[in-house]
Amino acid sequence: MRLQVDAFKVHCSTKAQSKKVLEEAAEVYNEAEMARKHPDLDYNLVWLEDEVADVITAAVNLVWLARRKDDGGFDAADLEGVMAEAMERCRRRNEAKGRL
């Protein structure tokens, strides 16, 4: 699977971007609750998917923002390798916990 996540053009503080990740995750929770309470409403799945995409975008942009401030040479294009390594570490952790 390959996802494309673009860097935001408007920059904020890492604290503000962290809050954005939490805000988007709360929206995922709300949509998941709606899907659970009303399984007959298929359109909630699209909303849930859209909210998850918002979380992914906000989280990846947080990494980009933090890296950009630490190293002025870090570009949004560098995110692919950084996040591929992070996803591999995540996969290994989940495998070790028996989730995979």
Q: Where are the alpha helices (DSSP H) in the chain?
A: 14-37, 43-70, 79-96
Quick one: which of 65, 74, 79 has its CA closest to 14?
65
- pLDDT averages per 10-residue partition of the chain, 100 residues: 76 92 94 81 75 92 81 68 89 94
Burial of 65 (0-12, 13-18, 19+ CB in 10 A): buried
The pLDDT value given to residue 79 = 80
Quick one: which of 87, 71, 89, 75 has its CA closest to 6?
75
Query: What is the pTM for the complete model shown?
Result: 0.78
Would you state the structure tokens that stand for residue 32, as one six-digit string? 């998941």
The pLDDT value given to residue 43 = 59
